[in-house]
């Protein structure tokens, strides 16, 4: 089923209500996702922008054929060639093998690397255009947002139809039949947009800021942003653009995020006592605790992103720290958060050491480590819990 986006554009993608994880199991997608592809019909030429993930290739092509005779597609534009967007290319190109594929030079390399086919590639750069008759398309390279091949396509079809096809940029893993931002729960969408930003785009925050500023400097009219995942922004497209500028600039809220794992509850009790101290010192702050062994890793990472300060807790086990904490540390190191204060805490039996190791790991992950951490032996009694509260109060003192 296709859906109308605007006078000249139809959505011809796939809504994936069942998707629960993405990039293998690297990213949870509790709200499903969509792979948005668009058919743009000009007075002289017609283009398809992007395809869908491979498992839906036949379904995608069959539905596309209900919309248009494939021979009437003059060009295929591939804004980005990760398999969730290029996966249906082989099935499509089997039927229209000579149709030109417009993509960046890196895009061509990536398509070849995936599908090992010699299709009719046309490489484009920023400023190159494609004339569809009454519609002009302009290509804007956006390398590392989030792959080297990424580009945006800007469409000028006149009044009310200035559309930026931004691929992953401004997207969210969010399944909806409603298509537009003004037809869904905005708070849900923004939650998913932030989770997407944190877990996919935040490592490239500098590139995102520069690219957005470059595009804003072009002074292009903008009516709609049509990403390749989730809803289409049409009610106020600059709102998500401004959110991206905020998120890309070492974003934080008045929040402290504490995540930990615990074997026999001692590390949990210390974490909760530290939280109590923080709340007493900074009652205006939100303090959240997560057991990393039980909660979703990407949701915790999103809460770390929101925080001005982070505490990481683990018992010492096998001379190191807990398995779930090791995974979290690797994840948040890769996400390259900035300007966040941090410290470690935990409990131990005989040797200890997890807190010292976590403190070092936090430094290498780019956090501003406040102190050597808080580590106590065995089960915390009242006096240790009081010490932990005091530690929390001191930790929070210089938060603004």
* Contact predicate 334/284, CB 8 Å: no
The answer to whether residues 6 and 20 touch, using CB atoms and an 8 Å cutoff, is: no
Active site residue 23: yes
Question: Nearer Cβ to ligand FEO, position 138 or 228?
Answer: 228
Nearer to ligand FEO, 169 or 277 (CB): 169
End-to-end CA distance of the chain: 52
The CA distance from 282 to 297, in Å, is 26
Residues 217-236 touching ligand FEO, rule: CB under 6 A, are 228-229
Task: Give the C-alpha separation, 44 to 90, whole Å.
Answer: 26
- CB nearest ligand FEO: which residue? 82
**Which of 229, 244, 261, 303 is an active site residue?**
229
Catalytic site includes residue 168: yes
Report the residue number, 16 or 84, with the smaller CB distance to ligand FEO: 84
Q: How far apart are CA 136 and CA 350, in angstroms?
A: 70
Length of the chain, please?
A: 400
By CB under 6 A, what part of segment 108-147 binds ligand FEO? 146-147
Is 72 annotated in the active site?
no
Question: Quick check: 139 and 127 in contact, CB under 8 A?
Answer: yes
Touching ligand FEO, residues 80-109 (CB under 6 A): 80, 82, 84-85
> Cα angle vertex 191, ends 260, 54, to 5°?
95
> Strands 341-348 and 309-313: what pairing?
parallel
* CB closer to ligand FEO out of 228 and 324: 228
* Residue 146 annotated among the catalytic residues of the structure: yes
Nearer to ligand FEO, 28 or 394 (CB): 28
How far apart (Å, rounded) are the C-alpha atoms in residues 355 and 347? 8
Which span (76-84, 88-96, 239-247, 358-366) binds ligand FEO, by CB under 6 A?
A: 76-84
What 3-state class would DSSP assign to 22?
strand
Binding mask 167-196 for ligand FEO (x = CB under 6 A): -x----------------------------
**Is 196 a catalytic site residue?**
yes
Q: Residues touching ligand FEO: how many (CB under 6 A)?
A: 9
Distance CA 338, CA 322 (A): 24
User: How far is it, in rounded angstroms, from Cα 388 to Cα 391?
Assistant: 5
The least distance separating ligand FEO from the CB of residue 35, rounded to whole angstroms, comes to: 7
Query: Per CB under 6 A, does 31 bind ligand FEO?
Result: no
Nearer to ligand FEO, 211 or 229 (CB): 229
Would you say 224 and 241 are in contact if contact means Cβ atoms under 8 Å apart? no
Helix, strand, coil % in the chain, rounded to nearest 5: 40, 25, 40
Within 269-328, the residues that bind ligand FEO by CB under 6 A are: none
Find, among 188, 137, 171, the residue nearest to 31 by Cα. 188
Please report how close the Cβ of residue 171 comes to ligand FEO at its closest, in angstroms.
7
Stretch that binds ligand FEO, among 79-87, 126-134, 332-340, 360-368 (CB under 6 A): 79-87
Shortest CA distance to 393 belongs to which of 283, 303, 251?
Answer: 283
Question: How near is the Cβ of 177 to ligand FEO at its closest, in Å?
Answer: 20
Q: Supply the minimum distance, in Å, between the C-beta of residue 258 and ligand FEO.
A: 31
| Of 80, 85, 174, 272, catalytic | 80
84 noted as active-site residue? yes
80 as an active site residue: the answer is yes
Q: Distance (Å, rounded) from C-alpha 234 to C-alpha 117?
A: 37
C-alpha–C-alpha distance, residues 62 and 52, integer Å: 12
CA 80 from centre of chain: 15
Considering the complex, state which of residue 172 and residue 257 has its C-beta at the smaller distance from ligand FEO: 172
Output 211 or 269, the one with its CB closest to ligand FEO: 211
Among the listed residues 82, 181, 387, 389, the single catalytic one is: 82
DSSP 8-state class, residue 1: -
- The binding site for ligand FEO (CB under 6 A) comprises 80, 82, 84-85, 146-147, 168, 228-229
Indicate which residues carry an active-site annotation: 23, 80, 82, 84, 146, 168, 196, 229
């Amino acid at each position: 089923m296709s859906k109308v986006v605007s006078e000249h554009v139809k959505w011809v993608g796939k809504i994936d209500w069942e998707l629960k994880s993405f990039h293998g199991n690297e990213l949870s997608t509790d709200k499903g996702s969509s792979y948005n592809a668009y058919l743009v019909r000009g007075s002289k030429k017609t283009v398809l922008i992007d395809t869908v993930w491979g498992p839906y290739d036949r379904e995608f092509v069959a539905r596309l054929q209900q919309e248009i005779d494939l021979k009437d597609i003059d060009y295929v534009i591939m804004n980005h060639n990760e398999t969730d967007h290029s996966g249906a290319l082989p099935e499509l190109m089997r039927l229209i093998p000579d149709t030109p594929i417009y993509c960046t030079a890196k895009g061509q390399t990536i398509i070849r690397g995936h599908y090992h086919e010699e299709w009719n590639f046309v490489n484009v750069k920023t400023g190159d255009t494609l004339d569809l008759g009454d519609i002009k398309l302009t290509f804007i390279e956006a390398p590392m947002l989030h792959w080297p091949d990424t580009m945006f396509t800007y469409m000028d079809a006149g009044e009310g139809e200035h559309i930026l096809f931004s691929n992953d940029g401004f997207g969210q893993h969010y399944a909806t039949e409603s298509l537009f931002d003004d037809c869904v729960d905005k708070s849900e969408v923004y939650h998913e947009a932030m989770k997407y930003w944190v877990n996919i785009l935040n490592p490239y925050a500098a590139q995102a800021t520069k690219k957005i500023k470059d595009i804003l400097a072009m002074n292009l009219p903008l009516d709609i942003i049509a990403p390749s995942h989730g809803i289409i922004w049409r009610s106020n497209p600059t709102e998500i653009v401004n959110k991206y500028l905020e998120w890309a600039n070492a974003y934080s809220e008045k929040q402290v995020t504490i995540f930990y794992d615990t074997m026999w509850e001692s590390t949990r009790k210390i974490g909760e006592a530290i939280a109590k101290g923080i709340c007493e010192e900074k009652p205006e702050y939100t303090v959240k605790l997560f057991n990393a062994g039980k909660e979703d890793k990407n949701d915790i990472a999103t809460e770390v992103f929101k925080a001005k300060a982070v505490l990481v807790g683990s018992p010492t086990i096998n001379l190191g720290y807990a398995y779930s904490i090791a995974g979290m540390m690797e994840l948040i190191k890769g996400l390259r958060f900035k300007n966040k204060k941090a410290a470690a805490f935990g409990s131990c039996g005989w040797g200890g050491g997890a807190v010292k190791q976590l403190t070092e790991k936090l430094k290498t992950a780019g956090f501003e480590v406040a102190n050597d951490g808080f580590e106590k032996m065995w089960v915390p009694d009242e006096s240790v819990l009081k010490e932990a509260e005091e530690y929390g109060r001191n930790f929070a003192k210089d938060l603004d």
